[in-house]
Amino acid sequence: MMRARSSAIVMTVYLLFLLIPIYWLINMSLKTNTEITSTFTLIPATLTFANYVTILTDPSWYMGYVNSLIYVVLNTLISITVALPAAYAFSRYSFMGDKHLFFWLLTNRMSPPAVFALPFFQLYSSVGLFDTHIAVALAHCLFNVPLAVWILEGFMRGVPKEIDETAYIDGYGFGRFFVRIFMPLIASGIGVAAFFCFMFSWVELLLSRTLTSVYAKSIASTMTRTVSASGMDWGVLAAAGVLTIIPGALVIYFVRNYIAKGFALGRV
Amino acid sequence: MDKTQNNKAWFLVLPVLVIVAFSAVIPLMTVVNYSVNDTFGENEFFWNGLGWFEDMIASDRMHSALGRQVLFSAIILAIEVPLGIFIALHMPKKGFWASFCLVLMALPLLIPFNVVGTIWQIFGRVDIGLLGHGLASIGVDYNYTNDALDAWITIIVMDVWHWTSLVALLCYAGLQSIPQAYYQAARIDQASRWSVFRFIELPKMSGVLLIAVLLRFMDSFMIYTEPFVVTGGGPGNSTTFLSIDLVKMAVGQFDLGPAAAFSIMYFLVILLVSWVFYTVMTTLDNAETK
């Protein structure tokens, strides 16, 4: 009994530690700028949604969200599509150089984006992709494709090889077997991999800021530029922050039962 | 699982190879190219051999950035790993409260890095932040924009806030996979709480814990956005980590040669550490399946 109570206390303290800064952000987003700078209140004295209205009616703000969502979805689609066959190959076959290749892929997950920012800028400018959604989507493949391969490989390992063999004996070709039988079996793995691609592409700032300027500008860079340009509009900044949390919170809710396994990259 | 030997599997890997080669190999070769050349503008390049590398290895700027980076990563790991294990041990095992905790704990992980910075900026500022204001009102002299120590503390607490959940979730996944029979056996043996942890839970968690340490090490070693938003690398250079310094050098001052040499050495350090982790991990994986 003692143990259950101490656990509850530990978890409460920890969750409070996680939530208080978020509460403060939400609190700020509902205040007017004069209230933020002049008085100090734990809940807004005059509740205002003006900050949210500013964001949702001004194209230079809300297009940031649209742009971000476009390249995040593009990136997730590309990553999963190319990672599926590769993960299958790694989990089922041994071939020349497979271990080296797998390690090389992982190193890309681990390479600092700062190293790649400038070369990316020049590469994408020279092929005319600068400031397009696809440029950011491709750039984020740098770390998302290896991650997707890694996660999917972990999940595919759990599927017994006999299933493949039985399907081939039953006359399935590779393509039909893969799409009709194998993919449903690892559906949760695909979901988790997609979740992680979404997450890492959504939270990344450095590359998306370097590769876009106007048409494909992400919400993350919209926020940093506003900070530097127009002094401090704390209320709008906080509201923009709150709005970036919402997609993440929604996605977490859908994958909540797989999230722990997913973070372990399918290796539990 | 014993795998079939078949070199045709290369065809399945080909799409990944093409896309990663486009987004990794080509840019990396550009960096290598810059690192051995010097330029006076106008796209004219002169062979400079290993000059930039020699400069950078000898430069104080790189030494101090590297020193700060190693210190930062060490502190982060020393706090987050034990704390994460501790939290995981106290999480509810199943039912509504388990999902509730999972969702709330995963929340910081899904917040864009720059928003994490913004949250802590708003939270920590002395004039408008709950933390800064609260500390000031109980008489603590806290100001992360002026004081190097305060800036460090803020960034470390922010990182703990941001990433401890990752370690905790990984350990939680590891704990979930332990069959109840192990605990029952331990109870029959009258094992103490500590020996249950030491001989049952910790060994079962070692695999996921390694992933956690690997991910946390890598990500803290290339941290850029959060300190950039909160402190901008300051006050002075006190929170200028490797990535921040690199971006300053490459994009801010446009010193391409030194920045490229810097990048390559940075990359090699990461590569070396990853290789060690990866080797240990695959050895563990193989030992487990045998």
pLDDT of residue B161: 92
Q: Does residue B7 form part of some domain?
A: no
pLDDT at B184 over 80: yes
- Nearest by CB: B103 against A223, A256, A261: A256
Q: Does residue A268 form part of some domain?
A: no
Q: Does residue A54 form part of some domain?
A: no
- On chain B, the residues whose CB falls within 8 A of the CB of A21 are 119-120, 123, 131, 161
pLDDT at B31 over 50: yes
Contacts of A42 (CB under 8 A, 6+ apart): A27, B130
Same domain, A28 and A99: no
Per residue in A109-126, pLDDT (tens digit) is 777 777 787 788 888 888
DSSP readout, B56-88?
HHH-HHHHHHHHHHHHHHHHHHHHHHHHHHHHH
Put simply, whether A36 touches B (Cβ < 8 Å) is yes
- Give the CATH number, domain containing residue A222: 1.10.3720.10
Mean pLDDT, range B50-64, rounded to an integer: 76
Per residue in A206-220, pLDDT (tens digit) is 888 888 877 778 877
- Kindly state the tokens that stand for A113: 């984006």
- Give the CATH number, domain containing residue B157: 1.10.3720.10
Highest mean pLDDT among A183-192, B30-39, B52-61 belongs to A183-192
Mean pLDDT, range B132-153, rounded to an integer: 80
The residue among A36 and A101 whose pLDDT is bigger is A101
pLDDT at B40 over 80: no
Domain range for A21: 1-48
Contacts of B77 (CB under 8 A, 6+ apart): B213, B216, B217, B220
Mean pLDDT, range A160-188, rounded to an integer: 87
Put simply, whether A267 touches B (Cβ < 8 Å) is yes
Q: Does residue A141 form part of some domain?
A: yes
Q: Does residue B115 form part of some domain?
A: yes
Asked if residue B124 lies in contact with residue B154, where contact means CB atoms within 8 angstroms, the answer is: yes
Query: Percent of chain B beyond pLDDT 90?
Result: 9
Domain range for B95: 20-289
For residues A244 and B117, give the distance between their C-alpha atoms in angstroms, rounded to a whole number. 13
Of the given ranges (A22-36, A86-100, A122-136, B30-44), which has the lowest mean pLDDT?
B30-44
Phi/psi region, residue B254 (left: phi>0; alpha: psi -120 to 50; beta: rest), is left
Mutation for testing the A interface, residue in B4, B5, B12, B169 having most A CBs under 10 Å: B12
Number of domains in chain B: 1
pLDDT of residue A1: 46
Query: How big is the CA angle at A66 (ends A60 and A71), to the nearest 5 degrees?
Result: 120
Put simply, whether A83 touches B (Cβ < 8 Å) is yes
Q: Does residue B5 form part of some domain?
A: no
User: What are the C-alpha distances in Å from A103 to residues A206, A227, B10, B107?
Assistant: 25, 40, 15, 30
Put simply, whether A14 touches B (Cβ < 8 Å) is yes
pLDDT at B58 over 80: no
Per residue in A3-24, pLDDT (tens digit) is 678 888 888 899 999 898 888 8
Mean pLDDT, range B185-198, rounded to an integer: 87
For residues B259 and B146, give the distance between their C-alpha atoms in angstroms, rounded to a whole number. 28
Q: Phi and psi for B38 in degrees, rounded to 5?
A: -120, 155
Indicate the pLDDT class of residue B79, thresholds 50, 70 and 90: very high
Q: Does residue A18 form part of some domain?
A: yes
Q: Does residue B14 form part of some domain?
A: no
Residue of chain A whose alpha carbon sits nearest to that of B271:
A107
Same domain, A173 and A223: yes
Q: Does residue B217 form part of some domain?
A: yes
Same domain, A137 and A241: yes
Number of domains in chain A: 2
